[in-house]
A and B are shown apart, each in its own frame.
Chain A
Amino acid sequence: MSRLKATFEALKKINRKALIPFISAGDPNPEFTLPLMHAMVDAGVDVIELGVPFSDPMADGPVIQRASERALEHHTGLRKVLSIATEFRKTNQTTPIVLMGYLNPIEIMGYQTFADYAQQAGIDGVLTVDLPPEEAQECTALLKAREIDPIFLLAPNSHQDRVKKMDAIGSGYLYYVSLKGVTGAGHLDIADVEQKLAMIRQNTALPIGVGFGVKDAQTAKMIAKVADGVVVGSALISKIEANLDNLNQAKQEIIELLKSMRQAMDS
């Protein structure tokens, strides 16, 4: 059983929802990422989405764009991200890691090589923003053969047939993008999310993570009521950006935000 499946099943048994932070690997430097990952686990997160920096992050808002740019200043590309994951696995064999990014770094590395390296690095899931099911057959087959879950996005304008398609090709969990737009944008409409999740659940038994627009403990709590996992990204990365001259402070603020979310989600 994949670590993701085990994690969601274990959470379900104790009636808890997954807290899933997204950070850009290598932001603002590669040394910052590994200790932050361990600290986030200590703060109570269940899965870590590790962003693979890309020069052209088309689906991301300004906060994650700038995070990618900071990371790329130190050349934190796909290889480096995999080496960070490898380090993490030396002391943590339980928390699932999901790589999230764009297809081109994987294309250039080659699907097979990437799948092998990801397996060796202890990666549990791969979410490729610009790889919809239409084009994903080859890549997902290689990942699944190595017990790595291919994770797909669902959007507010995804119809029922899309959900069925994702259910067939995806595993681990499905990531529902709660608004039309880029990461870090807009206002979350919880009633809208609830309605949409009901339709999605009729068409899949996979756990559903919800992201885009989760900013604080309150939004995390609201999402946790209807979803299986709460993804928070831009709000965390903003803490890094606001404290570039004091990274200990950045880390502390991230941990505090995650702890407040954990508490709100569990109460």
Chain B
Amino acid sequence: MTEKYTMPDERGHFGPYGGLFVAETLIEPIKELNIAYQHYLDDPDFIAELDADLQHYVGRPSPLYHAERWSKVLGGAQIYLKREDLNHTGAHKINNTIGQALLAKRMGKTRIIAETGAGQHGVATATVAARLGLECVVYMGAVDVKRQALNVYRMKLLGAKVVAVESGSKTLKDALNEAMRDWVTNIDNTFYIIGTVAGPHPYPAMVRDFQTIIGREAKQQCLEQAGCLPDALIACVGGGSNAIGLFHPFIDDASVKLFGVEAAGDGIETGKHSAPLCAGRPGVLHGNRTYLMADDDGEIIETHSISAGLDYPGVGPEHAWLKDTGRAEYVNITDTEALEGFYALTRMEGIIPALESSHAMAYTLKLAPTMSKDEIIIVNLSGRGDKDMHTMAEREGIKI
């Protein structure tokens, strides 16, 4: 790549993807948001406040940890983990919610809404809302409310109202639909904090920009610790915010291979998965054009994954673009394989990863042995596994 990567264009397009596909009522508030975002992006006061919060409240920079034992056992590339699991609230999600909440405050909005799947984004939103004294409502699919009970309790403790969404498939996509409905009804005082790099422009670019702290730190840390750039990056992809956060600062470094790992659920061939980039087709949902899981009538297909955070039928439009251009490669990992990744990291390094991040670990199990010992992989450990203890115990037949 000789030209510098500058996507998206000013109207939010990543090639044919992205864009602004929303009902008319949202046009004006989105325009306002875009103007505010473009303004504060270059505002030294805003950036200083954000940086201070990331350092003192979130706990950044997060470490880049050389998993020496695991690397040795796999016998291939040196594996480095970007420890987003060590952030306050236990995942990368707070990098973005801090940024958007500070923006909401400056725009004079008093009420925050969010959607959540695994509950990590909901918790990260409820957390910053509590800190800034903003009213907070989190929409969560009824199925997810059940399987992520711990996070629901955390959000309630933090003062958020959690609304269980009973429509459609009762998972993340339906929570997003409901949040959009709330937003359109309460646009005057409400800021919608979208948790991933999807939604209408400017969300995919804005959420990315708040998440690129992951990749910017990782690049600098890798240069300091290993003295060179990594050879490959691995991150799980649901909506794709942790992946784009890690990938984006490396896009112009052509020698760095980018691997996004989608959830194959029961297996791509069963149709029960959440892998739109690997097995979907382009369409329009939730404000942007991207790869989707849709049937021949254009209806959205229900997704399946052991991890609630990857259980989404779409994916950020920038990933669609990176796939089509071949800059990133998208692979998939089944539920069973993800569990192997989960146990591997837990037993080998004493770190319990979230089930979402376990997909990235599982692909590391496959990729690392094919590389040489002087090559480097950075894997995004996007979240910790505490929230998944119930799911795991249940699978093992243990009652907690």
- Name A residues whose Cβ lies closer than 8 Å to a Cβ of B: 53-62, 65, 69, 72, 75, 77-79, 102-109, 129-132, 134-135, 152-159, 162, 177, 180-182, 185-186
Contacts and interface: CB of A to CB of B under 8 A. Distances in A.
A102 B180 CA distance: 14
A57 B21 contact: no
A58 B23 contact: yes
Contacts of A108: 281, 283, 294, 296-298
Contacts of A106: 298
A58 B281 contact: no
B365 interface: no
Given A77-B299, A180-B187, A107 B24 contact: no
A186 B174 CA distance: 22
26 contacts: A55-B299, A56-B174, A58-B177, A58-B181, A62-B167, A69-B168, A72-B299, A75-B297, A77-B296, A103-B284, A104-B283, A104-B300, A106-B298, A129-B23, A130-B23, A135-B21, A153-B23, A153-B24, A153-B25, A155-B23, A155-B28, A157-B25, A177-B25, A180-B187, A182-B184, A182-B185
Interface stretch (B49-57, B221-229, B285-293, B337-345): B285-293
B205 interface: no
A132 B20 CA distance: 8
- Which 7 residue pairs spanning A and B have beta carbons closest together? A77-B297, A105-B298, A108-B298, A155-B25, A181-B185, A153-B24, A55-B299
A109 B297 CA distance: 7
B60 interface: no
Interface string B24-46: 11011100000000000000000
Contacts of A159: 28
A79 B299 CA distance: 12
B177 A105 contact: no
A182 B181 contact: yes
A60 to B, nearest CB: 8
Interface of B: 11, 19-25, 27-29, 167-168, 173-174, 177, 180-181, 184-185, 187-188, 281-287, 289, 292, 294-300
Nearest to B296: A108
Given A56-B173, A129-B23, A157 B187 contact: yes
Interface of A is mostly: loop
Contact of A185 (B185, B188, B281, B297): B185
Given A107-B283, A130-B287, A78 B298 contact: yes
A107 B11 contact: no
A103 B24 contact: no
A134 B11 CA distance: 9
Contacts of A182: 181, 184-185
Most buried by A among B180, B188, B298: B298
B21 A130 contact: yes
Given A55-B300, A72-B299, A78-B298, A104 B285 contact: yes
